[in-house]
Amino acid sequence: MDNGAIRRIFGRRSALGTAVLTATVLLTLAGPGSGTAEAAALCPGRKVRTLPFSTGDVRVYKSRGYLCAVTFAKRPGTRKQMSVSVQARGSRPVRDSGRYTHHAGPVTVHAGHRCVWIKGAVGSGSVSSGWILC
């Protein structure tokens, strides 16, 4: 075997190794925990509550007196009616509603130290928190 043939063989193996390594890294980054990272990217702050219901859940985040909420579908992909609503006591509710494939929101309100009422719905399932985080 001459030097040119050896270079071609090792060049192909190197390219294959790089492709396998790249695919492994991409699958690791897009693994099962990516939903949480997406919610955190939509809402700043720390997660203070998750309100589960039959067809999804509402995730609530708090940062410097502001509250942010997002409704996520349990089975994303097809368009369905979704909504999320946050109301600080003494204020009007802030809502997002429509036909979405993955999530409704985020909606953000300034709550300060007031109680909030959170509602979320995906299709026929829904949740209503009552006054919480007082």
Question: Which tens digit of pLDDT belongs to each residue from 37-62?
Answer: 565 679 999 999 999 999 999 999 99
Is a pLDDT exceeding 50 seen at residue 25?
no
- State percent of the chain over pLDDT 70: 70
Give the whole-angstrom CA distance, residue 49 versus residue 72: 14
Rounded mean pLDDT, 92-101:
97
Sign of CA dihedral 109, 129, 123, 42: positive
Give the whole-angstrom CA distance, residue 67 versus residue 9: 58
- State percent of the chain over pLDDT 90: 69
DSSP characters over 69-115? EEEEESS-SS-EEEEEEEEETTS--EEEEEEESSEEEEEEEE-TTS-
Sheet holding 125-132, edge to edge: 94-100, 80-88, 116-122, 125-132
pTM (predicted TM-score) = 0.71
Rounded mean pLDDT, 90-106:
97
Is a pLDDT exceeding 60 seen at residue 131?
yes
pLDDT tens track for 60-78: 999 999 999 999 999 999 9
Q: What integer pLDDT is reported at residue 37 of this predicted model?
A: 59
Asked if the bond preceding 106 is cis, omega within 30° of 0, the reply is yes
Q: Name the average pLDDT for the chain.
A: 82
